[in-house]
Structure formats: structure tokens, C-alpha cells
Structure 1
Amino acid sequence: MKKTNELPSMLQVSIVLVGFLALAFIFTSLGIEIHLAIFAGWFLAIAVGLKLGFSYKEMEKAVIDGIYNGMDAIIILLAVGALVGTWISGGIVPSIIYYGLKVIHPNIFLLATLIICSLTSLSTGTSWGTAGTAGIAMMGIGAGLGIPAPMTAGAVLSGAYFGDKLSPLSDSTILASSMSDVDVIDHVKGMFPASIVGYIIAALGFTIAGFTVGGGSADLSRVNEVINAIEGMFNISLISLLPMVIVIALLAMKKPSIPVISFGAVLGIIWGVLFQGLNFVDAIGTAWTQIPKDTGLEFIDNILSRGGMNSMLWSVGIILFGLGFGGLLDKTGILKAIASRIEKGINSGGSLTVTTIIVGFLGNLFGSAMYVSLILTPKIMQEKYDELGYDRRVLSRNTEFGGTLTSGMVPWSDNGIYMAGILGVATLDYLPYMWLSFACIAVSIFYGFTGAFMYRTNNGVTE
């Protein structure tokens, strides 16, 4: 069959995307992994591609090329898994939590939760790991202090997603920057102006809320219980924070991510042997999977059972299938067809920002996975940014705000399911308290319409 130069019709686009989204919704509702829905989406795209005149070999190559383009993110993600595993067993993450808990007080509990989870996510680069470690601890402490669980969960998620999108170790940060063709450190710098303002707004909100709900009769025994449990399991010292400082400093100096993160994992192994009394073999093993513990305290057991490359394989699977799907959508012209429809109403930085954030949210709403959103949004929107002269850092920033910051808001998305399950609070209950997400999105839209921090290019040179 002879190929045409025409873009696919909206009917053909709908067959692929609506079909995929329907599969994603049905599979998620039935408890079937989202991976299979994305894989099935490949064949919907292939069917349309064959109709358009592409050969199977061409589309197979598109899948391979799509995956190849994201392999750096996959390798870094596995390295991050090793780092988180060794940093927990090496006492680094527990030390962060321990020193944060030492300053806890009922009136500042929500603010402290925000800060502790921010530090944890910044140091580990994972919102899921943060929610499963510091987040669970803070949920237990909050219950003991009489703080409403949805409000505590909102503070946990605000801190978790703050680091998830700002840490150079984060898989979402790496993926959003790589898919937008932006250096990861430049991407982080581009997000900083909106993220810091949004963080201040969220911090003020949780401070006021803390003084409103923080009871004077709160029982601090849960705080002491957690502190004592951590002290009983780890040798806590300030030197345990040194690997975090070293890794973040090296990344900030723009050293290659994979060697730096891997070096951080090695430091975690060394710290586990020198300061936590692990034998060398067990310490190395935590880079793949964490050593299970049974302390009698469920949230402490969860803290000690996270991390390792093995914990990242679920996410790696989604990235592989998502990258392959994106390659097919690109090859068959489906992305161009969508972009040609969307871009007609975009004529300013404000409408460009709003549209990008909506596209990112829809990726979570219908695609049921943050990675699908972070992969497809840049592909759909990138040409319009280039046409209007906006630097790709603006694209990667808005992609993160639309994709990462809304991922926990959808009850059937991977993040919504995970966060609700791990924190014990329904998605729609904690949703009103995801103040950082709302604040950052609002600030980004404000920048879009006012032109503030909307970086421009001039003949390919960033201004």
C-alpha cells in the first residue's frame, strides 16, 4: 500500500486514543495493570499506521526508536532505585526523618510534614518512596496528634511532589526534561521560580492550618515511639547526611547523572557497612532489594522495606511501553494531527501554558499513568513552543506541572491508587489539601499571562 502525505483523520486518531483510553480505564477498574493497556494501544496505532500505508517494519522501528530515545531515563531510574535502597539501609534516609521529627510540635506539625517530606523527596528523588517512608511515619504521628488524616496526607503529597519534580534524581524530572530535549539541571532551574512561590504559598497555608487544628492536648508519645524505633535500628548521626550533600552537589555541578547517582548508591553501601553494621554482601544486596524487617510498627516496617532496583521495575515497564506508544503516535502522524487541532486557539504564552497543563492532566485522567502524560505532552505541544519562540524549559516546566503535580489527583491513575493505598486516605478526600499542586499551577498560569519567567529564544539562542 502506498503511503500518503496526509495526516490521519480525526476518526483514525479517535480509534487509537479513545480506544487506548477506554482500555486504560477498563483495565484499571478491573485491577489489570496499566502496562497491558499501553501495550494494547500499540496495536491500535499499528492498525491505523497500516491503513495509512506504513509497513509493519517501519512501525516496529518507530517503537524501537521511541524506546531508545528514553533509555537514559530508564537507566537513571534503575540507578535511583539502587540509591534509595542503599540510602535507607545505610541510615541516610532514616537520619533525615529522625532529625525532622526531633523538632516536631502539634502547632507546626503540618508545616514540619511538608518540610520533612520535601527534604526526603529532594534527597531521594521519588514521591512514592517519600510517601512510603517519611509519609507513612507522618500519617501515624498525625493520627496520634489528632490531625485530620486528609490534611496530613495533603501535606505529605505537597512535600513529596515538590522534591519529585525538583530533584535531579527524580524519574519524572528526568523524563520530562529528556522528552522536552532539555538538560535536567536547566529543567530544574526553569521550574524554580514557580515552584518556590508555590511552595511558600503552600507553607503559609499549612502553617495557618496547623495552628487551627493542632491540639494543645496532643499526645507526643507517637513521636517518641518513632524516634526511639529509628534510634534502635540505626546509628543516627549528622555524618549520615553527607552522601546526600555530595550527590546533590555533584549533580548541581552538572556532572553526568548516571555515574553520580551510582556513586551515591555506593556511598550508601559504604555507610551501611561502616555505620549500620551490615556485612558487605547484605549491603550490596540492598541496591537490588531492601532487607525486610519486622519491628511490630507497621509504618516503621514500611520505611525499612523501600527502595532497590527491583522496586523500580514496575515503573520501568510503564516507561518502556509508553515510549514505544509515543514512537508510534509520532510515526503515524497522530501527534501532529492532535497538535494541529489544539494549536489553533493558542496565540499567547498564557493560552499555551493553560493548554499544556490541561493536556498533561488529561494524560493522567485518561491515560491512568503519570509517565504517559510526561511522554505524550511534550510530543504534542513542542512545535507550538518553537513556533511562538518559547524556550523548551517552559515546555518541560508546564509538562511537569500538568503531568506530575496532577498525577495524584486521579483516583484510577497509578499515583492516585498508590498514594491512597499507602497513606490510607481516599484520593478525593486528600485532593482538596494538595495545596502545593494548586499553588504551582496557578503561579505558572500567572507567569504565562504576564510573561514573567517565560524564557524566549532568539534564532535558537535562549534569552
Structure 2
Amino acid sequence: MTDEYKGSRGSLSGLLPILIFLAVYIGAGIIFQDFYAMPAIVGFLIALTAAFLQNRKKSFQEKLTVVTRQMGDENVMTMCLIFILAGAFSGSVQAAGGVDSTVNFGLSVLPPSVAVTGLFLIGCFISTAMGTSVGTIAALTPIAVGISQKTGLSGAMCVGAVISGAMFGDNLSMISDTTIAATRTQGCEMRDKFRENIKIVLPAAVVTMVLFLVLAGKAEYRLEENLDYNFFKILPYLVVLIGALAGMNVFFVLILGTVLSLIVGVAAGAILPEQIFTVIAKGPDGKGGIMNMYDITAISIIVSGIIGLVKANGGIDYILYHIRKRVKTQKGAQVGIAALSSLVDISTANNTIAIVMAGPVAKDISEEFGVTPRRTAALLDIFTSVWQGIIPYGAQLLYASAGAAALGLSPVDFLPYLFYPVLMGVSALGYILFPRKERL
């Protein structure tokens, strides 16, 4: 057996930092009955420390060089810059009142017979425009609770429609951190990933609409709340969405959206001139904007460093070797990518972190078996979103449960109505197992 062949097998011990992170992160969640008791960044710092303690054949300086070189990779730094700009846009557009106007506009034009389906559609639009599922759930869950209370419709079904719509946009939005992470780790354009992604998930969205229509199509409701909206405030969302789809540079699109949001906000009186810089940095409530992206930016950098040492210690080669032993086809490689991203998301309860962790391994698999970067990016985003939309301990269902406290609903109560995340996974598996003739 040659040294080269040994090297190709990699080493299980190279994966130890990742296994330590999962053990510490999941263990803390179980012990404290709260999967957010330990901030992810702390778990990753523990894993990075473990990675530095491995492989005594290399000096600390050699390991540090590997880590910093990986952290400074062009794709990693580009991803971090996009996170920051996306935070700036999110903070400014929220301060300008774009979220409220968008929600009220959608509810104002909905016929009563499609109340629940309408919640799903509005959730799809808002999450695609805002790039955040949690933000969408926070904005729409109170409306869903109001509809349930006024109509007698199942509160779990109404909120389930909101969650389903939120996961649609989380997966597809051009400014979603999951899209940013998926495309940067695979080195593809956002518009290419979007086109690949939309054709996979659109059948799931259509079937979801039909299911909600059948279950709640005869409902009548009337909201007493003020549904005033200003179409001018919705404009920044539309500009960002259309600009990104048209293939404009993502940096330019986000800067344009931020500037336009500030102009709209100041013109409408929602943002005072002296607040312009504050809302960019912190959002309207002091918890959004660029500041809201600090955690995921720092996590992305730390995880990249960990992956650098994992790769140097043979961990990536170990995974690839065993995948190659079992996977002989392009279909098998895609199933492997789907399984990898699913397991990491179930373990971390954060789809962006899961993509950042699984992305480098998925890229190696895709290159080995000829899967295009756009398909790999779509699969990473889809399958992490599938599980993020249905695990009861994820932020999405926890936020929904908190917003629906008036109805006494727990995260588990939503599960029977989370049609879209489940159908999204089914549709993606269908595309893998029964591909079209086009090149993957």
C-alpha cells in the first residue's frame, strides 16, 4: 500500500474538531433543554482549539498559517462583505417601514376565501424580499393569530402557512444569508443558483397552495386593524429583487437598495436625517442592521479556519474516500450532498451555519462527480431549509411559538401543517432521482 493511497483515505481523527463541536453544542442543548443555551460561536471556538491541539508533527505556526490562509480565502471574505451589506439593507428598509407596508398591501388585496393561502403567499414574498425567515415569521405570526381568532380557523394551520412561506424565501432570496453562503462556498452566481433552485421547489409551492386552499378555502375573515400601506415604501424590496434577478452585481444591488431605503424613509418621515447611520448599523430597534450580521460573519470566519485544519489533517479526504466507496454515480453524489447538509442542520439547528460547515465538503464531492456548482448550491440550501423549517428546536418554530403565545401553541403543534418544507425535500429528491436530460 503506497503512501499516496494512504493519503487518499484520509483520517477519521481529522474530523475530531467537528465531532467535538457537535457533541458540545448538542450536549449543552440537551442538558439545559435549550439548543440556544450555548452560542454557536463559543462551540466553534472550542472546536478550533481542539483542531490546534491535533497533529503534533506540525508546529503551532504552521497550523496558524493554514487557519489564517483559509480564513482569508476570497470566497470567505466576499461572503462576509455580502453579509454586512445585506444587514445594512435590512436595517434601513425596516426603519423605512417597508415591512409593514408590504404586509398590509398583501392583506389588503387578499380575497377572504384564500386567507390561509394568502398568508403563505405573503410569507413567500416578504421572506424573498427581506432574505430572512425569522423576520418574516415575526412580522406575520401576529396577523395569522388574528385571522385564527376572528375566523375559528386552526391557529396551528395559520401559523404553519406563515412558516412555510418564510422558508420559501429563506431558501430562494438573493439576500438571504443561506443563499450567500451556498453560492460563495460553491463559487457560482446567485442568479444561476436561483434559476436552478426555483425549478426544483416551485412544484412544492404549488402543491402547498392547493393544500391550504382545500383545508381553509371556505373561510371568511375580516381584519379590524389598520391596513394602510405606502407603495413607495415597498419599492426598495422590488428594486433589490428585480436587480438581483436581472444579474446585477450583488454588491451594487445591496448598496442601491440601502440608499433607496434611506431616501424613502427620510422622505416619508420614518427616518430622521440624524438616524441614517444608526439604522444602517443597528436597524430601527437597535438589534438589526449590520450589527445583526456580526455573529454569522464571525462564525463564517472561524468555521473556515476549522475546515482548513480539518482538511490539512485528512478529515475531508476521509469523508470523500468513504463517499467514493459507496457512491458511483452523479445521482449518488447528489444524495450524499443532501444527506450531509441535512445531518449538519439537524445537529446545529442553523441552516446558514450548516451550509458554511458542509459547503467545502460538498464542493469536493461535486467536483469529483461532475455536479455543477449551481446544483450543489441549490441542494445545500434546499435540504438545510427543509430541516430548519420542521425541527421544533430551530429558531423558526421557536419564534412562531412565541408569537402565537395567545393561542397556547407549541412548536410541535405546527408540524402537521408544515407542508412546504416537507414537499420541498420530496421535490428535490425527485429531481435527483429522475433528472432531466440537461446537464446537472
TM-score normalised by the chain length of structure 1? 0.84
Alignment RMSD, CA only? Answer: 2.6
Instruction: Confirm or deny: 8 A CA contact 1:137 1:226 kept in the other structure.
Output: no
Instruction: Confirm or deny: 8 A CA contact 1:250 1:260 kept in the other structure.
Output: yes
TM-score normalised by the chain length of structure 2? 0.88
- Following TM superposition, by how much is the alpha carbon of 1:420 offset from its aligned partner in structure 2, in angstroms? 4.2
- State the alpha-carbon separation in 1 of the partners of residues 397 and 141 from structure 2: 15
Report what 1:178 is aligned to: 184
Q: Deviations over 1:261-307 (max 9, x none)?
A: 12211111111111235321124422222334xxxxxxxxxxxx874
Report what 2:11 is aligned to: 9
Report what 1:246 is aligned to: 239
Report the CA distance shift for 1:328/1:367 in structure 2 as closer, same or farther (over 3 A): farther
- State the alpha-carbon separation in 2 of the partners of residues 157 and 422 from structure 1: 12
Report the CA distance shift for 1:323/1:422 in structure 2 as closer, same or farther (over 3 A): farther
Report what 2:381 is aligned to: 400
The answer on 1:343 being equivalent to 2:329 is: no
Instruction: Confirm or deny: 8 A CA contact 2:185 2:363 kept in the other structure.
Output: no
Report what 1:77 is aligned to: 83
1:301-340 equivalences in 2 (<5 Å) = 307-340=288-321
Report what 2:392 is aligned to: 411
> Which residue among 65, 72, 85 is the counterpart of 2:69?
65
The one-letter amino acid paired with 1:428 is V
What are structure 2's unaligned runs of at least 5 residues? 1-5
SS in 2 for 1:225: coil
Report the CA distance shift for 1:113/1:306 in structure 2 as closer, same or farther (over 3 A): farther
Report what 2:284 is aligned to: 291
Identity %: 20
Q: Deviations over 1:86-134 (max 9, x none)?
A: 2122122221111111134554121111111111111111112211223
> Which residue among 155, 168, 175 is the counterpart of 1:149?
155
> Which residue among 340, 349, 354 is the counterpart of 1:368?
349
The one-letter amino acid paired with 2:61 is K
The one-letter amino acid paired with 1:9 is S
The answer on 1:264 being equivalent to 2:257 is: yes
Report what 1:28 is aligned to: 29
SS in 2 for 1:390: coil
Report the CA distance shift for 1:157/1:187 in structure 2 as closer, same or farther (over 3 A): same
Instruction: Confirm or deny: 8 A CA contact 1:67 1:323 kept in the other structure.
Output: yes
Give the number of equivalent residue pairs. 426
Report what 2:145 is aligned to: 139
The one-letter amino acid paired with 2:22 is L
Instruction: Confirm or deny: 8 A CA contact 2:41 2:299 kept in the other structure.
Output: yes
More displaced stretch, 93-102 vs 245-254:
245-254
Q: Deviations over 1:322-376 (max 9, x none)?
A: 2332232223221221121123222334433332222111101223332332023
The one-letter amino acid paired with 2:11 is S
Report what 2:268 is aligned to: 275
- State the alpha-carbon separation in 2 of the partners of residues 93 and 68 from structure 1: 35
The answer on 1:37 being equivalent to 2:37 is: no
Instruction: Confirm or deny: 8 A CA contact 2:232 2:264 kept in the other structure.
Output: no
Report what 1:54 is aligned to: 58
> Which residue among 165, 168, 191 is the counterpart of 1:159?
165
1:208-227 equivalences in 2 (<5 Å) = 208-211=214-217, 214=219, 216=220, 220=222, 223-227=223-227
Report the CA distance shift for 1:168/1:207 in structure 2 as closer, same or farther (over 3 A): same
